[in-house]
Structures are given as structure tokens and as C-alpha cells.
Structure 1
Amino acid sequence: MSTPESQSNEILFISDLHLSPEYPATVQRFLNFLNNRARQADAIFILGDLFDAWLGDDDNEAPYQDIRVQIGMLTSSGTEVLIQHGNRDFLLGDDFCRHTGTQLVPDEMVVDLFGTKTLLMHGDTLCTDDTGYLKAREYLRSDAFANDFLGRKLEERKVIAADYRKQSGEATSLLPGDIMDVNQSAVESVMNKHDVTRLIHGHTHRQARHQFEINGKTCERIVLGEWHSDQGMALSVSQDGIEELLL
């Protein structure tokens, strides 16, 4: 994807909101964002884990329906919204995008941000030291799992998800395993693969900007922050530079 500089004044990046009925304050913070700050941007990239656990596009439990409506109002106003799958909402699908006017994008996506090629990822595949998680990810992202899981009634899916949470010892995640930090070799490998000098990702909840060199070139890895009930984080990229926004 290219970003036409003559048309785009600002691109926003967010991730790891973990929206769910259990966190109404965070949901309200996101809805406020959609109706205010988000409308100033030409496009918004959601780099995974918009939801804490997505059980299928047919889940209309509150507050999911309101979230759909508000995102749809934003895209109808002219702001483009592009979404990557995270490790918690990888079952988000075409029906959600059709109802909201959003677009699902690949797990590794290169965009031209005002002259700088930038790789966008959720970030979980960079945590290569967590071999147990990567093995679980391979199975859970398979067509076999998706077809079996989504073919069940929603109430049964909720029971299965609750059982996953109980077995893994996690309070909110559909997936087992703890979040670990990225492996630097994996970072350099994927940036070399796409021939980029900037990487933006989420997942680790370790908001920061890291600088390093690859083949003599100065490179940067920007980690997006997670959202809480009392604070949200967005990254603003424009012709004027990069700014971290607290919402």
C-alpha cells in the first residue's frame, strides 16, 4: 500500500485494545476515540487485538454491536480503517469488515509512509523464543480449527473459550501462553526480507522506540502501547514526523 502524500495528512496506528464486556471503560474510551480524534486522520491501522477474544462475526453481545456501528460511522465519514489479526481476534472475518467498512490486511504489510517504507505487524510471530505459543498459533490459525470452531453454535464456542482460559490459567485470553518479548534476530530477519528500515508492531505491551543497525543502515522498531481503562495510546505519522498520542 502506498500513502499518497498529496492526499494523506495523518495516519494513526493502534493495537492491543482488548475490548470486551469485562472492560466497559476501555470500550467507552475507544468509542470516544472513534468519534473524536480518529476523525482527524485519513487512515487508521489497527495492528491486532482490537478484541480480547473474538469468537466469530455472529457474536452480537454488547458492546460488540455498538462498536460495529461506531466503526461503520467512522469509515462512512471518509476515514479508512485497516485491521490486522492479533493473537486474540484472529477469527475476525469478512462479515465484520462488510458491516463496518473496514479492510483486513496481511500479517506482514509494507506501506510507504511519507517516503519511508514501513513494515506493519501484530508482533506475535517475532516472539520466536516462545516456541509453545508458536506451535499453538500454527494450529489455531489453521482452516481446520476455524471451520470446526466457527461451525459450532455461539454458546458452545463460549464454553470452549472459557475452557481454554481455565486450562491456560489466563483470565482473558483465548490462547495459552504468556506474552514474551521479540527476538532481535527475528526482527532483523523480517525487516531484511521486506527491505525496510522501520517496523511498527504491538503485542508485547512494551511501548518503546528502538534504534539499531542492519547492514550498516539505521533502523527503527516502534512498539505500540496497550490500552487501559484510564489511558489509550495511538501513534501519529504525518509529513511532520512521528508523535505518540495519549488518549
Structure 2
Amino acid sequence: MKSEHAPEIEARAHWRRLAFISDLHLGPDAPLTTARFLQWLQADALQADALFILGDLFEAWIGDDLLDADPADVHHEVCTALASFASTDRFLGVMHGNRDFLLGSGFVQRTHVQLLADPSVLRFAGERILLTHGDALCTADIDYQHWRARCRDPVWQRQVLAQPLAARRQQAAALRAQSRAAQSRMETSSDADPAEASRWLSQAASPWMIHGHTHRPCDHWEGGRLRQVLSDWDLDAPVHSVAHRAQVLWLDQGPGALAVHRQQLV
């Protein structure tokens, strides 16, 4: 993955408040998280002029024809809510993650979101902010990088999407089980490589990166550069566990300064 040719997103003149989230993993197995997201999207999120979802909005997206299946499926409800948000003339950008890399034109038509290239450079308030899901930064996880290259290949994707929906559901369930096993081991190789992140920033002529994927929310300062890691959302985890969290990163352009803060929704 290279960032020197990252497309640029020019903030609209009226933008003053931006919201960034990632790794919500919405779906039928996360009812509390999904309900909280829908509540937030229809209320506090409307304070934002633009909302950026940097990957893994869904726990699994097995093809846009998912929306032609059971109309009671929670994916329909989420997509309807996204379309409602977008209809307010607010910018809504969604980036592919490692769970929902099959989001396509059908999803865009249903929700009116803008699919974001990974990475992209956001130009806002005089800043160049590099946006990425973050999984390509985990260079030490060789097995995952091989898998990432495979599942992002258009030929492979067409072959998968040609399979019956039921078969894709089974495959997605198997992949989720493998992913949970890897997360339980908390392997250091699944974290972003600081040197790789620094290289991306240099190539994009940017001092600031925002990404998700690692589920390790933190602000990393190094050599005058800032790398902000977004929180995952998991309100279905036990209430008193570390994993029980949902967080929004807000950027507010004031009269003379750009304010950055994290909002805890729990």
C-alpha cells in the first residue's frame, strides 16, 4: 500500500464540525452497539457537517445483494438510517474495512454515502489529514497482509460474489471465528507499525493521521506528527470490561484554532 497518490478530499466552505468513527462491527450479533449507533446517528451526529466512518462499519458485509434478502435484517435498518443522515445535506464518507470490503455500488445507491479511497487526504482548516482504515499499516502480520491482498483483488471478489448468499454467510461466519481467535491472543503484530505510518505521512506531506482497525484508541505523538487511533464500538461487551466502549473523535474549527476531542458515549 502506498500513500503518495492518495486522493484528496477538499472540505466544503461551510464545514465547521467533523466526526470520525470506525470499527463499529454492526450486525445481528451486536444489538446494543447497533441500537446505540442508530440513536447517535439520528441525534448528536447531526451536529456534524461531515461524518467519516473509517472502516468496519459492519461486522460482515457479504455483498450488496444482502439488501435484497430479508427486509427485517438489521443491515436494512442501518442503511436506511445512513440514507436519512445523508439526506440532510451532510457529507457522509465510508471507507472499506477488513470486514466490509465488499461494500459496493448497491450500498452507495441505497445510502447515498461516498466511498472513500484508502488512504485519502482530507484538507480541512489548513490541515492535511491522512485518513486510513489502518489494517495496511500492520506490516508485521504477514499472514493477514497476504489475506488482505487476496480479498481486495477484483477477480477474487467477483468469484466470491458469484456464490449463493447462503454460502457467503457460512464463509463469513468462519472468518469471524478465526478473527476472534486471533484477537483473543492480542498479538503485537496486529498493531500499526509506527515506521510505516511515518513513511505514509511523509509521502502524503501530512503531519496528521487518523485511523482505526487496531482497537487501541490512543494519540501518538512523534517528531511533531500526530497519529490518532480511533476507538472501536462494543456496547455488547460486559459493562465493566475494557472492551465496553463507544467513542467519537470530533474536530471543531473555531475562530482561531482547531479543537480536537474524543467523546465517550458510555
| TM-score exceeds 0.5 | yes
- Structure 1: where are the runs of 5+ without partners? none
Q: 2:107 maps to which residue?
A: 96
Task: Give the secondary-structure state (helix, strand or coil) at the position aligned to 1:27.
Answer: helix
Q: 2:131 & 2:17 partners in 1: Cα distance?
A: 16
Query: Where in structure 2 are the equivalents of 1:45-124 lying within 5 Å?
Result: 45-60=52-67, 61=70, 62-124=73-135
1:134 pairs with one of 145, 149, 152:
145
Q: 1:185 maps to which residue?
A: 195
> Measured at CA, do residues 10 and 57 of structure 1 come closer, stay the same or move farther in structure 2, by a change above 3 Å?
same
Contact 1:165 1:172 (C-alpha < 8 Å) held by counterparts: no
Deviations 1:27-85 (A, max 9, x none): 00110011001111111000000011110111135101011111111100122110110
Q: 1:9 & 1:73 partners in 2: Cα distance?
A: 21
Deviating beyond 6 angstroms after TM superposition, the runs of 4 or more aligned structure 1 residues are: none
Q: 1:212 maps to which residue?
A: 222
Q: 2:176 & 2:25 partners in 1: Cα distance?
A: 15
Q: 1:165 & 1:225 partners in 2: Cα distance?
A: 19
Q: 2:182 & 2:44 partners in 1: Cα distance?
A: 28
Using the TM superposition, give the Cα deviation of residue 164 of structure 1 relative to its aligned residue in structure 2, in angstroms: 3.3
> Measured at CA, do residues 128 and 172 of structure 1 come closer, stay the same or move farther in structure 2, by a change above 3 Å?
closer
Give the counterpart letter for 2:202 in structure 1.
Answer: N
Is the aligned partner of 1:197 residue 2:207?
yes
TM-score when scaled to structure 2? 0.85
> Measured at CA, do residues 153 and 172 of structure 1 come closer, stay the same or move farther in structure 2, by a change above 3 Å?
farther
Is the aligned partner of 1:24 residue 2:42?
no
Contact 1:114 1:238 (C-alpha < 8 Å) held by counterparts: no
Q: 1:226 maps to which residue?
A: 232
Using the TM superposition, give the Cα deviation of residue 231 of structure 1 relative to its aligned residue in structure 2, in angstroms: 3.5
> Measured at CA, do residues 42 and 172 of structure 1 come closer, stay the same or move farther in structure 2, by a change above 3 Å?
farther
Query: Where in structure 2 are the equivalents of 1:232-243 lying within 5 Å?
Result: 232-240=246-254, 241-243=259-261
Q: 1:160 & 1:171 partners in 2: Cα distance?
A: 16
Is the aligned partner of 1:244 residue 2:250?
no
Task: Give the secondary-structure state (helix, strand or coil) at the position aligned to 2:118.
Answer: coil
Deviations 1:203-222 (A, max 9, x none): 00111111111xxxx11000
Moved more, 179-188 or 147-156: 179-188
Contact 1:47 1:84 (C-alpha < 8 Å) held by counterparts: yes
Aligned length in residues: 238
Deviations 1:139-172 (A, max 9, x none): 1111121101111111111122233345x36379
Q: 1:171 & 1:27 partners in 2: Cα distance?
A: 23
> Measured at CA, do residues 40 and 131 of structure 1 come closer, stay the same or move farther in structure 2, by a change above 3 Å?
same
Q: 1:226 & 1:42 partners in 2: Cα distance?
A: 22
Q: 2:173 & 2:262 partners in 1: Cα distance?
A: 35
Identity %: 35
Task: Give the secondary-structure state (helix, strand or coil) at the position aligned to 1:234.
Answer: strand
Contact 1:127 1:182 (C-alpha < 8 Å) held by counterparts: yes
Q: 1:3 maps to which residue?
A: 11
TM-score when scaled to structure 1? 0.91
Give the counterpart letter for 1:227 in structure 2.
Answer: W
Q: 1:42 & 1:139 partners in 2: Cα distance?
A: 36
Contact 1:121 1:200 (C-alpha < 8 Å) held by counterparts: yes
**Alignment RMSD (CA, Å):** 1.8
